[in-house]
Amino acid sequence: MVDPRISSINESLKEIRNIITVVSGKGGVGKSLVASTLALTLAKKNYKVGLFDLDFTSPSTHIILNIQGLQPKEEKGIVPPKVHDVSYMSIIFYSGQYSLPLRAADASNALIELLSITRWEQQDVLILDMPPGISDATLDIIRFVKRIQFFIVTTPSQLAYATVEKLLDLLSELRMPIIGILENMKRTSLPSIEAQVEQKAIRFLGDLPFDEKIEEAIGNTEVLLDTAFARKLEEIVSKTPLF
Amino acid sequence: MHEWALAEAVLSSATEIAEKEGLSEVTEVKITVGELQQIEVDILEFALSQLKTAKFGKTKFKIETKKAELKCRVCDHRWFFGEQKIDRETAEAIHFVPEIAYICTRCPECGSPDFEIMQGRGVWLERVKGVK
Ligand SMILES: Nc1ncnc2c1ncn2[C@@H]1O[C@H](COP(=O)(O)OP(=O)(O)O)[C@@H](O)[C@H]1O
Ligand SMILES: [Mg+2]
Ligand SMILES: [Zn+2]
């Protein structure tokens, strides 16, 4: 018995030039906010951008981007709708407001399903927003998706960085391309993790401030792009070779 | 109509298998279709016939449907998904992603959402026969 979906995953992704996977060892460090803002920022720079929320049990990017009343088009598969100039895909189109209790094997199955039936149009870059940690979703992406690059998010907390370090070691062992590490929610009172990152011979991308204004920017992309958080991310993006 | 995407996936993995086994011509492809996903077998067959490459010129596509059997992890009760009434919107969502069943299906004995899909989830390629 063969699962026919597996061989169609890379077929479905063939029009995509670059795939950036936003990961961290921990939850709550800002992966979804960074992934969404990164997508908007690159779209504003006229790149063709896709965003795929792969955190199936706790999807968040649809709230950040205020995705409402949209549905993928059915066309020999499903075609992600475009919103704020970003082609967007999430399990939320199917699970709606309901909770979706998935064990890892089921989440993995759902992920393979969506990866294989989603027809991405030509994109310069597809950004994947991942659940935290080194579990099924991350392993599935490593196993099934060719040409991925990892964009790692941490906070200044040693608790976050300790988990990121483990993720980093695994990705390095598997020779996965790593763009670098971004330090989010930086507060001046805390020492930076920059020195620790440099010891690992990984690029330190920079830090994003802890931004009190973020909460009111959620669901409003114009306000979001105007926050200190987003402006700093744009600055980092323009000096980082992403692809 | 994502039967087309599934048909394409079936053909691309059948091609892979045929190549690996050195088959010049494929005579039979057996596919099982799980009831959970509610695939329209007619559309799947039509899509296969439209998308197939030369290698599949004389292939018989055998499609078998399997009931979706679920087993509760809490109380071990087993049941069939088909016994449950679901609204159209949810059925449609399950059609695209079978795991969406977890938003609405509960164990009829104990009410748990923690069940296993034993069989009949989605599309499987059962076997590829051919001549070398
Ligand atoms: N730089 C920041 N300043 C202030 N709040 C932030 C910042 N980055 C993220 N947040 C907030 O932290 C919470 C977790 O962010 P989220 O992107 O959901 O994290 P993750 O995806 O890693 O779980 C959210 O409420 C988000 O608005
Ligand atoms: Mg998240
Ligand atoms: Zn039960």
Q: What is the DSSP letter of B37?
A: G
Q: Which of B61, B102, B114, B127 to mutate to test the interface with A (most CBs of A within 10 A)?
A: B102
Q: Is A12 in the pocket of ligand 1 (CB under 6 A)?
A: no
Give me the mean pLDDT over the A210-224 stretch. Answer: 97
CA distance A23 to chain B (A): 24
Residue B2 confidence (pLDDT): 82
| pLDDT, tens only, B2-30 | 899 899 999 999 999 999 999 989 999 99
* A187 has pLDDT over 70: yes
Task: Burial-class residue A238 by CB neighbours within 10 Å (0-12, 13-18, 19+).
Answer: exposed
Residue A10 confidence (pLDDT): 87
Answer yes or no: do A106 and B99 touch at CB < 8 A: yes
Domains and CATH numbers, chain B: 2-131 (3.30.2320.80)
Q: Is the ipTM of this complex over 0.95?
A: no
What is A164-194 written as a DSSP string? HHHHHHHHHHTT--EEEEEEEEE-TTS--SH
Answer yes or no: do B13 and A7 touch at CB < 8 A: yes
Residue B29 confidence (pLDDT): 97
Q: What is the DSSP letter of A6?
A: H
Q: Can you tell me the distance from the alpha carbon of B69 to that of B83, in angstroms, rounded to the nearest whole number?
A: 10
Q: Which of A3, A10, A76, A90 to mutate to test the interface with B (most CBs of B within 10 A)?
A: A76
Answer yes or no: do A107 and B99 touch at CB < 8 A: yes
CA of A228 to the centre of ligand 1 (A): 14
| pLDDT, tens only, A133-173 | 998 999 999 999 989 999 999 999 999 999 999 999 999 99
Give me the mean pLDDT over the A72-89 stretch. Answer: 95
Ligand 1 atom with least separation from CA of A33: 17
pLDDT-derived band at A11 (thresholds 50, 70, 90) equals confident
- Look up residue B129 and give its amino acid: K
Give me the mean pLDDT over the B51-74 stretch. Answer: 95
Average pLDDT, chain A: 95
Residue B129 tokens, joined: 């026969």
Q: Specify the CATH superfamily of domain A4-238.
A: P-loop containing nucleotide triphosphate hydrolases (3.40.50.300)
What is B90-131 written as a DSSP string? HHHHHHH-GGGHHHH---TTT--S-EEEEE--SEEEEEEEEE
Residues 6+ apart with CB under 8 A from A52: A80, A88, A89, A90, A118, A126, A127, A128, A129
pLDDT-derived band at B1 (thresholds 50, 70, 90) equals low
Which position has the higher pLDDT, A190 or B116? B116
Q: Which chain A residue has the Cα nearest residue B32? A: A1
What residues 103-142 of chain A have any CB closer than 8 A to a CB of chain B?
Answer: 103, 106-107, 109-110, 113-114, 116-117, 119
CA atoms within 13 A on the CB side of A86: 29
CA of A152 to the centre of ligand 2 (A): 13
Residue A202 tokens, joined: 């990984």
Helices B3-20 + B41-51 axis angle, to 10: 50
Residue A162 confidence (pLDDT): 96
**B102 close contact with A: CB closer than 8 A:** yes
Residue A116 confidence (pLDDT): 92
| pLDDT, tens only, A33-53 | 999 999 999 999 999 999 999
Q: Can you tell me the distance from the alpha carbon of A92 to that of A58, in angstroms, rounded to the nearest whole number?
A: 10
* B101 has pLDDT over 90: yes
Give me the mean pLDDT over the A12-33 stretch. Answer: 96
Residue A97 tokens, joined: 């407001």
Among partner residues B1, B12, B113, which is closest to A8 by beta-carbon distance? B12
